[in-house]
Amino acid sequence: MNLKEVFRDKTRDKLYKKLSDIGLECEMAERGTVEEKLFNPWHRRSLGIIKINSDSPIKYINIIKRDRGKDTPPRWWNYFAVPSSTSSSKETSVEVKSIRKKSFPIIGKVKSIDWKSNNNGENLADKFTKDSETNALSMELGNIKIQSLHDNFSGYSIELEFNKSAFPLLSAPNISMNISQWNALNKIAKLCIENEK
């Protein structure tokens, strides 16, 4: 058996299987595509792209990893790309993120979700606050951050950092995705697109 394959990070494979299991038409793109550059600074690396061929506003997912450092555990981010015509001005950029409120810091159960935003994202934050599906998504899966993009990619990015296990230094995130959660992600995407109109 190929040792490189044995030790290869299979986070993308696991998410691809979850999406396939709920009936989505998707595929793992060949490595080295330009989409891998989305939110991929020099100190992180892309594990590859999952292309979404089903009819949804989310068109692909870029899985990014920061490897374990001397004093830091590894981290994984998933960027759900939503192509759309956004304003070319950074002054009109939108940013909204969820804050998961726990009963006890770090290990407590998530009790509620607060949505914080910049000035341009206040309308979206208000909609997310009032939407039970969107709040449930963050409670179940992890922190969510939405940004409008204006440079190499026009549209929105929905950043999801899946919940970690109780032992984050020892394991990868708990990859979970059911059809309700996928629909909630696409609801966020649709609200973002509608917000531009």
Pair type for strands 142-149 and 155-162: antiparallel
pLDDT of 170 over the 60 cut: no
Angle between helices 122-130 and 132-141 (to 10 degrees): 90
Pair type for strands 75-83 and 95-102: unpaired
What is the chain's mean pLDDT, rounded?
Answer: 86
pLDDT of 129 over the 90 cut: yes
What is the pLDDT averaged over residues 162-182? 69
Q: What is the pLDDT of residues 89-105, one digit of tens each?
A: 777 889 999 988 876 66
Q: Residue 181 corresponds to which tokens in the numbers above? A: 């959660």
Compute the Cα dihedral for 96, 52, 38, 76 and give only its sign: positive
Higher pLDDT, 90 or 28: 28
Percentage of residues in the chain with pLDDT exceeding 70?
Answer: 89
> Which pLDDT score is estimated for 147?
93
Q: 92-96, 114-118, 152-156, 184-188: which has the minimum mean pLDDT?
A: 152-156
> Which pLDDT score is estimated for 167?
39
Percentage of residues in the chain with pLDDT exceeding 90?
Answer: 53
Q: How confident is the model at residue 64 (pLDDT cuts 50, 70, 90)?
A: very high
pLDDT of 130 over the 50 cut: yes
pLDDT of 45 over the 70 cut: yes
pLDDT of 181 over the 90 cut: yes
Q: Residue 38 corresponds to which tokens in the numbers above? A: 């989305």
How many angstroms separate the CA atoms of 62 and 39, rounded? 8
What is the pLDDT averaged over residues 17-39? 92
Among 69, 51, 76, smallest CA distance to 61 is for: 51
pTM of the model: 0.88
pLDDT of 158 over the 50 cut: yes
Q: Residue 29 corresponds to which tokens in the numbers above? A: 């793109």
What is the pLDDT averaged over residues 33-39? 86
Domain boundaries in the chain? 3-163+171-195
